[in-house]
Structure 1
């Protein structure tokens, strides 16, 4: 009888802990979607990949209408298609989905705050060029 009681107690604890874990995960995802962050960095969209490089991290950008709007604004400052343009955006940072290629975190842009011209390049700037012309 004691063994059955202990087994039922352990089973109920296991089930209740499992439910708490799901609730916590759901709460975190809901709070993430409500909390957009302001991020400053250099933006580039090239060959179906959009990237924001900040001082601390590199983020993949979810390709949607806002990303295309940002790319159109950035094109005004690009001399070459691979040029990176300084931007300030507001967006939701999300971990990438499992099994998907790319950077560990993605940004879903919610607002474009500012797009600036790139800094002047000097002799120390590294340029990648295609030599197969």
Structure 2
């Protein structure tokens, strides 16, 4: 009988946090007025504007030369679909941790 409790205990310990997975996301970030986006090689995600979204916008500001410049970022976050009838991108990222912020590729920010 105690073996079954140990088995279930280990099972829940190993697989109990499966729903809280975070993705590491690398891309170019832009924040304008009340909208933010992270664009990667094969994705574009809207960014949830909460305290972490605003913190990323603040950390990105020194790397921008113009209002529409993008900034390279590495974050961890969780992805979810936008609410029904809401405007914006279909997939939204909720930022959990800001790992790195730096200047974007020079070619991407030359259009003025």
- Give the TM-score category using the shorter length: 0.7 to 0.9
User: How far apart, CA to CA, are the structure 2 residues paired with 1:92 and 1:75?
Assistant: 23
Deviation at 1:126, TM superposition (A): 5.5
So what's the TM-score if we normalise by structure 1?
Answer: 0.67
**Unmatched 5+ stretches in structure 2:** 1-17
User: How far apart, CA to CA, are the structure 2 residues paired with 1:90 and 1:114?
Assistant: 10
How many pairs does the alignment contain? 95
Aligned residue among 96, 103, 106 for 1:110 = 96
Aligned residue among 8, 21, 26 for 1:35 = 21
**Unmatched 5+ stretches in structure 1:** 1-29, 129-133
Higher relative strand content: 2
Confirm or deny that 1:127 pairs with 2:81.
Answer: no
User: How far apart, CA to CA, are the structure 2 residues paired with 1:118 and 1:52?
Assistant: 12
User: How far apart, CA to CA, are the structure 2 residues paired with 1:126 and 1:88?
Assistant: 22
Question: Which structure has the larger Rg?
Answer: 1
**Structure of higher RCO (CA pairs closer than 8 Å, 6+ residues apart):** 2
- SS of the aligned residue for 2:106 comes to coil
Match for residue 100 of structure 1?
Answer: 86
Partner deviation per Cα, 1:8-46 (whole Å, 9 max, x = no partner): xxxxxxxxxxxxxxxxxxxxxx82xx1110000000000
